Amino acid sequence: MSLRYGRPGQVCVEHVLEVPLDHADPAGPRISLFAREVVGRGNAEEDLPWLLFLQGGPGCPADRPSAAGAWLSQALRHYRVLLLDQRGTGRSSPVNRQSLAGRPDAEAAAYLRHFRADAIVRDAELVRRQLLGDRPWSLLGQSFGGFCAMTYLSLAPEGLAEVMIAGGLPSLTAHPDQVYRAAYPRALAHTERFYARYPGDRKIARQVVDHLDDTETRMPSGERLSAERFQMMGTSFGHDGSFDLLHHLLEQAFITSRGEPVLSDTFLRGVDGVLSMADRPLYALLHEAIYCQDAASAWSAQRTLAEFGEFDPRRHAEVNFTSEMFYPWLFEQDPALRPLRGCADLLAAYDGWPRLYDPDRLAGNTVPVAAVVYADDLYVDFDQSRATTGQVGNLRPWITNEYRHNGLAARPAVFDRLHAMVRGEV
């Protein structure tokens, strides 16, 4: 039974259904899927078109209506919106060290091989048929949600009336090594932009790294903070306000205790809040896997890092921050990931990943697609995205350097323009 309730200006309906863990085995084990329908209060009884929203990630739940970005209020002017918690996230059979506790590593890895975009798309099709019957719906994909949109167009374009993508056009063919070789230079560029804004933070970041190398510093949670983990603070650099966040932590980095400088609890708590994977373990577990097609990642980010000596703070004067990369040592250092280390190794070694995109079908696509490509995107490579715009039929690109990766959430104009583009109005 669906649960219906009201919020200021909105009516929400919660939907829960069971779907196969493995869509190739519909009679096999099942998992729970949660989705929240949202409609503007004044349109609650109207027969509006439906818009499926797929969040970025992987491993992040859908926006909650009370905390959704600028796009939701704009979308509710035109659509009945469905916020789907992708499998393994939010209320959809969540995956974490607790839910996987007791499973042998091989069993956990085999389970998680069913949590990529292909399964998410097939989940969405079951939801669509339950809620809309044969009617297609619109799709809005943010970041990884855009990757899922490309898979949707490859596997089930008949389910889609139109597609809008924000900062999420993947390469259709790149191996993870190609993805990370392009990503590390972007991380260096964003680090330099950070220091250009806050030049005094070069010295403080160096002091932090030296202190972490010389002491065993633990965060208030009890977890040790390493220099390499501190460098992962660059993971947030692609969003509005992220430079300011790190700067304000660094300006309170040190405090005197018993006559000696130590890293302050304020700083350590802030770092932990950015870096902990406790609420999004799939982000670390599957990040390399979302790029894999017929090949293993083999810890690609770790291997390709060796080609970029600028990230070694012990051999390079500058402390450079990494970005959306995850390393095998993280599964030892983060308590939320430590029980999943064996599973992570097996996922990294797995070479049987099916293909996620059908280049021929995408080339002949007839579903209207509008995609914004951010020229300065930290997370999705501009050149790879631009190449994809020429490989998908009926796709209208919007290339801009006006917004950061979270432009959809931060600026109403992003959704409004995508909506107009997909309808041929601009």
Residues designated catalytic: 143, 377, 405
Length of the chain: 426
Backbone angles phi, psi at 21, to 5 degrees: -60, -45
Question: Do the Cβ atoms of 370 and 339 come closer than 8 Å?
Answer: no
The token duo for 369 is 């697609």
Give percent helix, percent strand, percent coil of the chain, each to the nearest 5: 40, 15, 40
CA-closest candidate to residue 309, choices 320, 299, 323: 320
Residue 11, SS3 per DSSP:
strand
Q: Strand pairing of 3-7 and 137-142?
A: unpaired
Q: Tally Cβ neighbours within 10 Å of residue 346.
A: 17
The token duo for 300 is 């690609």
Q: Tally Cβ neighbours within 10 Å of residue 138.
A: 22
Q: Cα dist. 112→95, 149, 426 in Å?
A: 9, 20, 42
Backbone angles phi, psi at 15, to 5 degrees: -125, 135
The token duo for 259 is 């006559």
Q: Strand pairing of 30-40 and 10-20?
A: antiparallel
Residue type, 145: G
CA-closest candidate to residue 147, choices 33, 360, 289, 254: 289
Task: Give the C-alpha separation, 364 to 157, whole Å.
Answer: 11
Backbone angles phi, psi at 105, to 5 degrees: -55, -45
Question: Do the Cβ atoms of 11 and 4 come closer than 8 Å?
Answer: yes
Question: Do the Cβ atoms of 86 and 124 come closer than 8 Å?
Answer: no
Task: Give the C-alpha separation, 322 to 320, whole Å.
Answer: 7
Using CA atoms of 238, 395, 71, 357 in order, give the dihedral in degrees to the nearest 10. -70
**Residue listed under structure tokens 């990040």:** 287
Task: Give the C-alpha separation, 407 to 284, whole Å.
Answer: 23
